[in-house]
Amino acid sequence: MYEVQVTTQFKRDIKRCKRQHKPMDKFKNINELLISGQALPQKNKDHYCLVGGQDIENAILNRIGS
């Protein structure tokens, strides 16, 4: 079981999703799976997204310095 660390950025992201009327029930279901340590469904597995020839994961990691 994991513990959720609610950051300011996380709060802003949730607030933005609510304003855009995103389906929060889907988020809650995935969040509960992650907290409990269960495997994610195949459609929600981590995947690479290419943007401008660079995958997003590497772009984010380079940006935050990890």
Rg from Cα positions in the chain: 14
Predicted pLDDT at 66: 41
Q: What sections of 7-66 are H helices per DSSP?
A: 8-19, 24-36, 56-64
Residue with tokens 């660390």: 5
Q: How confident is the model at residue 48 (pLDDT cuts 50, 70, 90)?
A: low
pLDDT of residue 39: 83
The pLDDT value recorded for residue 63 is 47
Pairwise CA distance, residues 65 & 44, whole Å: 26
- Could you state, in order of their start, the residue ranges of all structural domains in the chain? 8-64
* Averaged pLDDT score across all residues of the chain: 75
Average pLDDT rounded to a whole number, residues 34-51: 75
Q: Which position has the higher pLDDT, 62 or 15?
A: 15
